């Protein structure tokens, strides 16, 4: 196992710590196997003598562990690396919180209101940006404000992730903030603004004549609402569509199904779980399905949930053409578990197939019309993939 631990840690502590890592990661079954394999080395000998050897060599040659190194996370990642799961990953509590809060900034509510939040070095939820003339500025929010609570749900009791999520909400709803500003606590009643048609880091759209070009850069829980917002905004103004899924590495599988379902009738996706279960998901046979000539733009970084959208549209959509280059090839899907230390474990639970297609996992989806192009030309005047899409739609 590849391990990075502090220089002065002894083998007894190392073994105890690795037992804890194993227990947190794989439960009782994995713990049994771990103890069985390493029971002879509990006194400090065995395989982990190598760690002491490495420690001695490094120390003698003046190599120190970086000041901010997270040895615990490094050790756990080393343990997890022995599994045959290329998507298996561990995120430390600090990184998990920071990443979650950063993602909140990408949603239409905060973008419409014109402010951003972040987890600061003290573990507080801090207002990092407020746009001039924005809804947030007009209501008195300031850079440097520490958000202590939202609607009486405090960061201390509710956690920074759950509290940041409370910032999201419907247009016109009021949230009661408790702030700390300049060391003093103060209340602020804040009326949310939400425009589902505002361009976000995830979704944007534009009309090119009678063609609606929808750019979907990632797939989160809010993507379907953004897509639906643009469809409502441009209702009756387009007769053809382009889905630009280039460089979309995926995201939420359930949201991808919801997005695709807006454009197809009845179809099905099958999930095959590692434990032998199978789950068949049927897209809605009834409802308002948008059936217009469509081109889906893809490349080698179109992956996961974005590939699912591509496959569903191609199999069950009306007059759909895939243009670009072969996609990444990820039909495996993951789940996550919150660990006792506040960190997050992400692991693969199965793979999916679309309709009668074989799994595209590890293979990718081949375009109907292959157009190779330098990625740097995407959405420029030299974007020949987009030009081909427009030519196909006429």
Ordered by start, the domain boundaries in the chain are: 11-83, 94-191, 203-393
Of 6-10, 81-85, 381-385, the poorest mean pLDDT is in 6-10
Of 43-52, 170-179, 262-271, 347-356, the poorest mean pLDDT is in 43-52
Residue with tokens 């382009």: 242
Q: Are 178 and 187 in contact (CB under 8 A)?
A: yes
Return the pLDDT at 287: 52
Q: Which fold has domain 94-191?
A: Pdz3 Domain (2.30.42)
At 285, is the pLDDT very low, low, confident or very high (cuts 50, 70, 90)? Answer: low
Q: Are 1 and 79 in contact (CB under 8 A)?
A: yes
5 Cβ partners below 8 Å, 6+ apart?
14, 17, 51, 71, 74, 75
At 24, is the pLDDT very low, low, confident or very high (cuts 50, 70, 90)? Answer: very low
Return the pLDDT at 276: 96
Is residue 41 over pLDDT 70?
Answer: no
The residue count of the chain comes to 394
For residues 222-234, one letter each, b for 16 or more C-beta atoms within 10 angstroms of the residue's C-beta and e for the rest, the string is bbbbbbebbbeeb
Give the number of other CB atoms < 10 A from CB of residue 341: 14
Please state, for a pLDDT cut of 70, what percent of the chain lies above it: 86
For residues 73-89, average pLDDT: 89
Is residue 5 over pLDDT 70?
Answer: no
The yes/no answer on whether domain 203-393 falls in CATH 3.90.226.10 is yes
Q: Are 37 and 31 in contact (CB under 8 A)?
A: no
Is residue 111 over pLDDT 70?
Answer: yes
pLDDT single digits (tens) 327-336: 999 999 999 9
Of 74-78, 112-116, 145-149, 257-261, the poorest mean pLDDT is in 74-78
Mean pLDDT of the chain: 86
At 246, is the pLDDT very low, low, confident or very high (cuts 50, 70, 90)? Answer: very high
At 53, is the pLDDT very low, low, confident or very high (cuts 50, 70, 90)? Answer: confident
At 12, is the pLDDT very low, low, confident or very high (cuts 50, 70, 90)? Answer: very low
Is residue 13 over pLDDT 80?
Answer: no
Return the pLDDT at 14: 36
Return the pLDDT at 361: 96
Angstrom distance (rounded) from CA 257 to CA 259 = 5
Is residue 18 over pLDDT 50?
Answer: no
């Amino acid at each position: 196992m590849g391990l990075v631990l502090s220089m002065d840690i002894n083998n007894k502590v190392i073994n105890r710590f690795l037992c804890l890592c194993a227990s947190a990661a794989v439960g009782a079954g994995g713990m049994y196997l771990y103890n069985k394999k390493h029971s002879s080395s509990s006194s400090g000998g065995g395989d982990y003598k190598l760690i002491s050897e490495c420690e001695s060599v490094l120390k003698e040659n003046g190599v120190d562990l970086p000041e901010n190194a997270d040895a615990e996370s490094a050790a756990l990642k080393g343990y997890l690396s022995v599994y045959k799961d290329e998507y298996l990953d561990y995120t430390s509590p600090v990184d998990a919180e920071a990443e979650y809060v950063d993602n909140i900034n990408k949603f239409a509510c905060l973008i419409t209101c014109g402010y951003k939040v972040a987890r600061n070095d003290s573990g507080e939820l801090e207002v990092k940006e407020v746009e001039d003339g924005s809804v947030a500025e007009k209501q008195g929010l300031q850079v440097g404000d520490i958000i202590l609570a939202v609607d009486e749900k405090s960061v201390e009791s509710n956690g920074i992730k759950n509290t940041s999520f409370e910032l999201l909400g419907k247009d016109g709803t009021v949230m009661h903030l408790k702030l700390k500003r300049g060391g003093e606590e103060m209340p602020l009643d804040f009326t949310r603004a939400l425009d589902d048609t505002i361009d976000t880091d995830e979704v944007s759209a534009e009309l090119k004549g009678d063609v609606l070009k929808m750019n979907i850069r990632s797939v989160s829980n809010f993507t379907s609402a953004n897509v639906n917002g643009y469809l409502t905004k441009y209702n009756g103004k387009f007769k053809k569509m382009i889905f630009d899924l280039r460089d979309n590495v995926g995201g939420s599988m359930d949201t991808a199904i919801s997005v695709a379902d807006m454009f197809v009738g009845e179809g099905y996706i099958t999930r095959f779980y590692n434990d032998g279960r199978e789950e068949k998901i049927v897209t809605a046979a009834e409802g308002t399905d948008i059936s217009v000539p469509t081109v889906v733009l893809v490349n080698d970084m179109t992956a996961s949930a974005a590939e699912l959208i591509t496959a569903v549209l191609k199999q069950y959509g009306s007059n759909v053409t895939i243009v670009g280059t072969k996609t990444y090839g990820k039909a495996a899907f993951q789940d996550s578990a919150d660990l006792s230390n506040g960190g997050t474990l992400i692991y693969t639970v199965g793979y999916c197939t679309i309709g009668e297609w074989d799994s595209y996992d590890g293979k990718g989806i081949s375009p109907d019309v292959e157009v190779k192009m330098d990625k740097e030309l995407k959405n420029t005047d030299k974007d020949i993939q987009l030009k081909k899409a427009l030519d196909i739609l006429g």
